[in-house]
Structure 1
């Protein structure tokens, strides 16, 4: 076996181990990542530092959930099961539809609010810039 093949084989084995560890931590959520990082700092600080850098680089620190299936998706799956009572299932479907519409309306409201705030900040910046420009032109004259 050539040294290059040996290196590739070792790399594939370590990549498999690392991807399994990553999947295992993702399945347990952000708390597991933080616990692994803290333990890394306790036992050998470069490992903790490497985990912290990886968590920041991969955006695991700032995402809502580490797992590919969010808790909301798991909850939605449970909400789609039938209870066996058709009246209750119809009520549940109507309520879920109403809640989804309210959520969409609220998200649209938040977007309009952010846009209005951005516009107000930009208008303030332009006003301040115009005042500075007129003040410097007044000083030059």
Structure 2
């Protein structure tokens, strides 16, 4: 997480101002901002937490865009509509490839951390004094 971000969980002037404005405009917005300030940091520590949130946000926005395109997809030019649909399909395939690569990378990083932890544990077990042998 970028700690220099203007809007991060915590009591920053920006989050407090947004909370106050949220309460003035519509009280659930202020309550949501208060929850973000108090509990936002706890949700960023989970593994894949940000990735899951990003995917969920993308799916929501993609459904809206897809619905929007369905409503206004007819430009009156069949060739343009076919080209646009082909480009959207190509971009979707690229997005899926990138998502797959991201998942592979996260899996790779998880395995690296696991291997490092295993190595540290094995070293600890080798170097620690044998308590049962010294007492007998």
Instruction: Provide the TM-score with structure 2 as the length reference.
Output: 0.54
Q: In structure 2, which of residues 22, 39, 64 is the aligned counterpart of residue 74 of structure 1?
A: 64
Q: How do 1:1-141 residues align onto structure 2 when only pairs under 5 Å count?
A: 37-39=19-21, 50-55=31-36, 70-80=60-70, 81-137=73-129
Give me the whole-angstrom Cα distance separating, in 2, the residues matched to 1:97 and 1:105.
12
Number of aligned residue pairs: give it. 99
Structure 2 gap segments, 5+ residues each: 1-15, 25-29, 45-52
1:75–1:35: structure 2 CA closer, same or farther, 3 Å change rule? farther
RMSD: 3.9
Structure 1 gap segments, 5+ residues each: 1-33, 43-47
Give me the whole-angstrom Cα distance separating, in 1, the residues matched to 2:38 and 2:63.
25
C-alpha displacement of 1:84: 1.1
Rg larger in structure:
1
C-alpha displacement of 1:38: 1.9
Instruction: Provide the TM-score with structure 1 as the length reference.
Output: 0.53
1:85–1:58: structure 2 CA closer, same or farther, 3 Å change rule? farther
